[in-house]
Structure 1
């Protein structure tokens, strides 16, 4: 377990209750372009490394991975091509299937961007049931984070409260968070991959607020990590201020993905990695 703790520190993961994300994120300056694909691949690589370590330690059944990816525009800076990205996502779905990893893509104010919509459709076809996509307005950022909480196994319950005095009785409703009752208790590895390009400037405080609320309901055994991206991809580590990380090109998968193994919707192309 000493090795596990050391590797967690090197990769940047830290317990949710000790996470510095709440203090680091508000200090981030939003500027530059959007290296969306590079950032997602960096997160994928970190999760695969951590999962391999969990398998070695025999604790891989105790954790579920959750990847929350938020952006507000099309990729215009990544070194990794869209086709490379799509191939890697199908490989990832084989290595970390739905019962291990769930990826939630959030597109802020992109409903009229046809390039983003087409690329997200291609990503979902390659990712299978492991990925979901939510195009939202900037006013729905916190709401969609709450929806993700419920989908991964945390639900919001409303309790009725009555406050009374001699003049009036006021009924209030209070939201409380608790784990969904299930046969197996999961610990979560939550990775936030967040767009900090220039167009996010006016909405960044909403993202910080949503992340803070998300962290507040995680358990003491849950782990978190933050990645931010604009022209570059930066990992927010537990021991230092944000530092730029050069994204490695995806290495050749140990086995070649079988692109014919997935049944694609009849309206899609025969290969899930076709863009248009």
Structure 2
């Protein structure tokens, strides 16, 4: 099953295609995030028409290692977009996890992420990490959304119907209901990611291994261009340029400069 580039997790092409990408170019972070959110919105609209919108939890995992230097959409426009998105896809529907790799000393990135989080409300989280922590943070995200993970003597089980938090003695201490998952990975393949791309691919593979047949996944990669990975059938092809993407979608993204929003941060 494939819908708008989303595939059933066990049949996903991500494991085969992601390692084939070479990291190069600049960073169109904001363009890629907007593209991913628009795919999520389109999928939600489709599910609403079929009466299945309450059966899935949408999860957007965004990873980058540097400041945006190529997006067509400005920071002010992006912040205004995030405010609208928070109302259209609230936290009970969509959770976004931003991962910043080796950016703890980049003040521009830190300031922009604080602004993004304030506009996004509780629907978004940000994890600044060292490159050695890529796999660990992917596991942490899985635990937060309720996927099966075993770590530090705690087992979290998910059979798509319930989660049981177990102690070492395997005594259940808490149960909760969960939905199936729609997971989108939006991943930076700019030149500075070259040394860490293998770690990212391994972390994504581990994440996919904990998803079930009723879960849907897709991927976006970005440098100075934005590309939906799962729409490829063989070798990665020439990505869609950010300018082309922006021109096609600019009616969905506010063109006004929301200085009032930006000045609050």
The normalised TM-score by structure 2 is: 0.85
Selected match of 1:100 from 69, 87, 93:
93
Q: Which moved more, 1:52-61 or 1:148-157?
A: 148-157
Q: Does the aligned pair in 1 maintain the 2:77–2:253 contact within 8 Å?
A: no
Instruction: Select the structure of larger CA radius of gyration.
Output: 1
Q: Does the aligned pair in 2 maintain the 1:69–1:103 contact within 8 Å?
A: yes
Does the residue aligned with 1:247 lie in a helix, a strand or coil? helix
Q: Deviations over 1:156-180 (max 9, x none)?
A: 3359xxxxxxxxxxxxx7x866222
Structure 1 unmatched ranges of 5 or more:
160-172, 260-268
Instruction: Kindly indicate which of the two structures has a greater share of residues assigned to helix.
Output: 2
1:110 aligns with 2:103: yes
Does the residue aligned with 1:209 lie in a helix, a strand or coil? helix
* Alignment partner, residue 71 of structure 2: 78
Q: Which moved more, 1:240-249 or 1:13-22?
A: 240-249
* Alignment partner, residue 218 of structure 1: 211
Q: Deviations over 1:60-79 (max 9, x none)?
A: 00001000000000000001
Structure 2 unmatched ranges of 5 or more:
165-174
Q: Does the aligned pair in 2 maintain the 1:197–1:229 contact within 8 Å?
A: yes
Tell me the distance in 1 between the aligned counterparts of 2:101 and 2:264: 21
* Alignment partner, residue 263 of structure 2: 274
Does the residue aligned with 2:128 lie in a helix, a strand or coil? strand
Tell me the distance in 2 between the aligned counterparts of 1:137 and 1:204: 13
Does the residue aligned with 1:99 lie in a helix, a strand or coil? coil
Q: Deviations over 1:14-40 (max 9, x none)?
A: 000000100101110000000000000
* 1:183 Cα deviation from its structure 2 partner: 4.4
Q: Deviations over 1:73-127 (max 9, x none)?
A: 0000001111111111111110110000000000000000000000000000100
* 1:274 Cα deviation from its structure 2 partner: 3.1
1:188 aligns with 2:181: yes
Tell me the distance in 2 between the aligned counterparts of 1:151 and 1:64: 12
* Alignment partner, residue 167 of structure 2: none
Tell me the distance in 1 between the aligned counterparts of 2:148 and 2:124: 20
Q: Does the aligned pair in 1 maintain the 2:76–2:261 contact within 8 Å?
A: no
Q: Does the aligned pair in 2 maintain the 1:91–1:253 contact within 8 Å?
A: no
* Alignment partner, residue 40 of structure 1: 33
- Cα distance change, pair 107–53 in 1 and its aligned pair in 2 (3 A): same
* 1:239 Cα deviation from its structure 2 partner: 5.0
Does the residue aligned with 1:218 lie in a helix, a strand or coil? coil
Selected match of 2:202 from 198, 209, 215:
209
Tell me the distance in 1 between the aligned counterparts of 2:204 and 2:141: 11
* Alignment partner, residue 58 of structure 1: 51
Q: Does the aligned pair in 1 maintain the 2:185–2:218 contact within 8 Å?
A: yes
1:89 aligns with 2:82: yes
RMSD: 2.3
Number of aligned residue pairs: 241
